[in-house]
Structure 1
Amino acid sequence: MQESTADLIRAQLRRRRVAAGLSQEEFGKLVHYSASMVSAVETGSRPYDRPFLARTDEALGSGGLLVALLRIAEREGQPASVLPWLDIQRMARQLRVFEPTLIPGLLQSEGYARAVIRCDDLLSDEEVEQRVAARLDRQAILTQPDPPQLIAVIDEAILHRHAESFRAIMIHQAKHLIAGAERPNVSVHVIPLSAGLHIGLFGPFSLARGVDGGWVATMETQLTATPVDGETELATLLARWETVRNEALSRQQSIELLEEVVKSWS
């Protein structure tokens, strides 16, 4: 989600709550949130979703304004399912990403991003380009002043999934990963094929630590990327992160492997 839209939704939420004379606790009871969660949503350290915004519109009598703002964000090129996570990602101080099948979005080159998004044959050419542009725009969080720390773990199998027609794209993507890994706030670690089976093969997941020190996670499927902040679920994913990180090569070893991949394709 673009920053201005996310900030506008939260600002409207707080402004209308205050105008209605409701404390965060009183408002929370109306929308089935605790006062602390309402506060976290308003400050951006916890996500909101469409059902929450719909309940808010109803509770505050805002005539569907917040849901309408969410639709605007969707028209800007982002799938509705990922909007809450993108807002969390933008506010995070540390991001931990594990991907067994694709290069993480924050580290994708333009060509790779376009090829991946084009796999959805339900999208028009215009929608593909909108999503490519939005994905590249999101990467700006890594180069902004005081950027978050990104630690990405990927499976080596990703680097060998290519047809002959895809070779040039993958060479450029590998070089793009190397360049990204050389930034002081970015670490890329590769789990080598020699590691065999590991827990990460159950699927991708991401973790974000906010300014308050709390963690939020997401697990992506074909249809959704729903944020997770339950204590048990977070504990499980944090433990799984330690497992996949321990299976991976060091930062320097991973860069050397990427360089070998580029050489083998060139």
Structure 2
Amino acid sequence: MADDTPLDKRRKLGRELRRFRQRAGLTGPELAKAMGTTQSRVSRIENSVVKPKISDVRAWADATSVTGPERDQLLKLAEGALTELSEWQAVLKGSLAGRQRELMATDKVAKEIRHFQPYLVPGPFQSPSYARAAITGSNLTGEIDVEQAVADRMERGRRIMKARSPRYDAILMEAGIRWRPKGCPPGTRREQWERLLEFADSPHISVRVIPLDAELVVAPMIGFVMVTLKDPDEPPVVRMETPAIHMAFSGADQVAAFELTWRRMADAALNPEDSIRLIRQLIRTEGASKDGQ
């Protein structure tokens, strides 16, 4: 596949920067010291987790003695990738499991994650049966690694549950968490709601639900995730998922629009305590139903 999308270009840039560092015989900490930055930032740049600045690339070239045509080509690559990423960060393509690993890599450098999901339970909070149904149902591009994607989604959930994970705030629509996955074993919805309560019980995780009869200023058109990174020099990133592609934005105007939408959805949502009570009521109602599903 040609390196033609913004994310492809950023990955190629990371590979080139790593190659120049290794060719110069420098370790990550040694390069970081020469550039006046941190080893963790060097690693994140090489692995395309964060977006470097053009000044970072110039300093990298200086520290690794990249000159002449090689330096010109490196800066051209950086300008092509980073200029596009400043307003339209990426169209994320690839395997289903690869998407889960991309998300786990972002979790490692995130300070806070805010997730608005109107149509289903967010991926990290899903049970295996529910995740399998969600991934299979949205797999319109024909990817075949569904089971690996489910396993990676479960692993991501385990990591997010850990105390040292980033703050995770989720706002969900009641209609969304009521989704009934077709073909799932009996009890899948109840199992999923109980799992949601487990996550909500973690001190660094907040779950708020917008009830069915809530009045909304804006329609819940699409789910999105806003990530605030630990590095204060990195702008927030917004990720959106459609049936065909995953997209990410970091431009100030786009992020501001999502911030406003988040605030309006937060105004309509129940507080965490009332949200937990609503989910428990759903569990009781489900348990009293005829088929338990």
Q: TM-score, normalised by structure 2?
A: 0.65
How far does residue 104 in structure 1 lie from its aligned partner after superposition? 0.5
Structure 2 SS opposite 1:46: coil
Aligned residues of 2:126 and 2:192 also touching (Cα < 8 A)? yes
Aligned residues of 1:141 and 1:148 also touching (Cα < 8 A)? no
Q: Tell me the equivalent position of 1:78.
A: 98
Instruction: Within 5 Å, give how 1:107-186 maps onto structure 2.
Output: 107-119=125-137, 120=139, 127-144=145-162, 146-162=164-180, 166=184, 168-186=187-205
- Cα distance change of structure 1 residues 165 and 209 upon mapping to structure 2, 3 Å threshold: same
Instruction: Within 5 Å, give how 1:78-117 maps onto structure 2.
Output: 78-79=98-99, 84-117=102-135
Identity over aligned pairs, percent? 26
How far does residue 16 in structure 1 lie from its aligned partner after superposition? 1.8
How far does residue 77 in structure 1 lie from its aligned partner after superposition? 2.4
Cα distance in structure 2, aligned partners of 1:262 and 1:40: 42
Aligned residues of 2:110 and 2:166 also touching (Cα < 8 A)? yes
Residue 273 of structure 2 aligns to which amino acid in structure 1?
Q
Aligned residues of 1:200 and 1:240 also touching (Cα < 8 A)? no
Residue 216 of structure 1 aligns to which amino acid in structure 2?
V
Task: Give ranges in structure 1 of 5+ residues lacking alignment.
Answer: 1-7, 22-36, 49-55, 61-72
How far does residue 86 in structure 1 lie from its aligned partner after superposition? 4.6
Cα distance in structure 2, aligned partners of 1:76 and 1:204: 18
Residue 285 of structure 2 aligns to which amino acid in structure 1?
S
1:16 to 15, 19, 29: 19
Aligned residues of 1:47 and 1:227 also touching (Cα < 8 A)? no
Structure 2 SS opposite 1:146: coil
Cα distance in structure 1, aligned partners of 2:136 and 2:245: 18
How far does residue 89 in structure 1 lie from its aligned partner after superposition? 3.0
Is 1:224 matched with 2:224?
A: no
Cα distance in structure 1, aligned partners of 2:148 and 2:187: 23
CA RMSD of aligned residues (A): 3.5
How far does residue 159 in structure 1 lie from its aligned partner after superposition? 2.8
How far does residue 14 in structure 1 lie from its aligned partner after superposition? 3.3
Cα distance in structure 1, aligned partners of 2:13 and 2:159: 20
How far does residue 109 in structure 1 lie from its aligned partner after superposition? 1.0
Cα distance in structure 2, aligned partners of 1:76 and 1:225: 11
- Cα distance change of structure 1 residues 231 and 222 upon mapping to structure 2, 3 Å threshold: same
- Cα distance change of structure 1 residues 85 and 147 upon mapping to structure 2, 3 Å threshold: closer
How far does residue 144 in structure 1 lie from its aligned partner after superposition? 3.8
Cα distance in structure 2, aligned partners of 1:19 and 1:164: 51
Residue 210 of structure 2 aligns to which amino acid in structure 1?
I
How far does residue 182 in structure 1 lie from its aligned partner after superposition? 0.3
Q: Tell me the equivalent position of 2:257.
A: 236
How far does residue 76 in structure 1 lie from its aligned partner after superposition? 8.3
How far does residue 116 in structure 1 lie from its aligned partner after superposition? 1.2
2:210 to 191, 194, 200: 191
Cα distance in structure 1, aligned partners of 2:13 and 2:120: 32
Structure 1 SS opposite 2:209: strand
Instruction: Within 5 Å, give how 1:245-264 maps onto structure 2.
Output: 245-264=266-285
Structure 2 SS opposite 1:195: coil
Residue 208 of structure 2 aligns to which amino acid in structure 1?
H
How far does residue 75 in structure 1 lie from its aligned partner after superposition? 6.2
Aligned residues of 1:85 and 1:226 also touching (Cα < 8 A)? no
Higher helix share: 1
Q: TM-score, normalised by structure 1?
A: 0.71
